[in-house]
Structure 1
Amino acid sequence: MKDSWGPLKALVVASVINGVGDVILCLYLSYGIAGATWAKMVSQVVAGLMMIEALKDKGYNGYVIVVPSPTELFQIFKLTSPVFIMMMSKVKFCSLLMYIATSMGTQTVVEHQVLQEQLFPGYSPRFFSPDPHVMKEMHKVLLPYFIALSMTTSTQLRK
């Protein structure tokens, strides 16, 4: 549709809602990971509604569900299959990590979840969990975590 402003606005608003929600719910109201989850959920709902409104501004009704024709399905498949395969691989990998963390006990699951939620786990480990054991374990994996994040970013880039 050659509309980059609609998604950009939705992304900015969602990021602000998520960040402010994290600070209020986690830092001031001490809801921890549950607060971060609520902030993320609200930000995603708002972003989705903003995207639907952007469609409405272009003359489309984003609330209508239409079954695509076989030709349209094939076109969608051609356009989205590389991204679909990449995203499914990512979901499978994250599910495998969660399965392994779960099999290692409750404490490991908590540490895994806290690391998944934080952007700067080395600087603000108390933001999502005040447990000293969780913070100690997080500091043990900071270097491999940083390397993994760095490598993930480079694999997402396209030529």
Structure 2
Amino acid sequence: MEPTMNHFDREGNAIMVDVGGKEPTVRTATAEGLIRVSRPVLEAITGRTAAKGDMLGVARVAGIMAVKRTWELIPLCHPLALSHAAVDFEILEEQCAVRAECTVRLTGRTGVEMEALTGVTVALLTVYDMCKAMDKGMEITGVRLLYKEGGKSGVYHCV
């Protein structure tokens, strides 16, 4: 059976999915993405020598703020009472990149995949914004859902 597009009514109009009849469950989602940068930018990030200060600290807060506002950015997302949101970074020296990972959790009637994807994307965009004076050729890539659990669709784990 093919999955259905549940954000449309019978006439094809966009709707917010009614989750009122669902039982609340613990739901978690983790997303990742990369930003490829020049060697001088990577050195400024790791050495905390950029003019704008602690770029990853600011990007972490920006990502968490974005998680909390996903429902305002993506038209058919529900406002959610989140219980956890975290953004972490890994420096990939050989790739001259920074990997961001965002994990979001709640107990509720709908998943948090969009929140995790939004958080990781905004965190990477913040790194770009804070470094663009040094390198406009940075590339954000590989934004994807790594893991989700909870709800009737069960566990998803990216291979």
TM class by shorter chain equals under 0.3
Bigger RCO of structures 1 and 2 (CA < 8 A, at least 6 apart): 2
What is the TM-score with the length of structure 2 in the denominator?
A: 0.23
Q: Greater strand share, 1 or 2?
A: 2
What is the TM-score with the length of structure 1 in the denominator?
A: 0.23
Q: Greater helix share, 1 or 2?
A: 1
